[in-house]
Amino acid sequence: MLYLKKWYAAPPEARPLHVLCHGLVKPVHLGIKASQPPPGPGKKILASQDPIFDAQKCGPQPGWYAISIHMLHAREGSNDYFLKYFKPVAMTGYSIYLYHITLEDANRVRDDLGLPLIDSE
């Protein structure tokens, strides 16, 4: 997480940042403003059972993702796992992959998964 903090301080354009890491230290404790990654496309299945379900908020969203190797492998077999469609652009420390998902990349994968596309507003 200390390597992630150092990386986070360098590129100010790396926002929004979504972090999913296993450990005792939370990003907020290190001054990293981040949110959890959005739920994966598997949540789309629940749409018919949930009247306030918003498919726009599931699956890949544009932004930066910092995901620990442990969390990647923990989610690898689930239908929530959408990062398998992307390649990391960097690695921080020894166990955190960094992904940058553009709007075009997000919409390409969203289309493949049958999710609504995101407007370019």
pLDDT single digits (tens) 81-120: 788 899 999 999 889 999 999 999 999 999 988 888 998 8
List Cβ neighbours of 67 (8 Å cut-off, separation of 6 or more).
19, 20, 21, 37, 83, 96, 97, 99
Long-range contacts at 48-55 (CB < 8 A, ≥ 24 apart): 55/115, 55/116
Determine the pLDDT at residue 51. Answer: 53
Specify the 3-state DSSP secondary structure of 86: coil
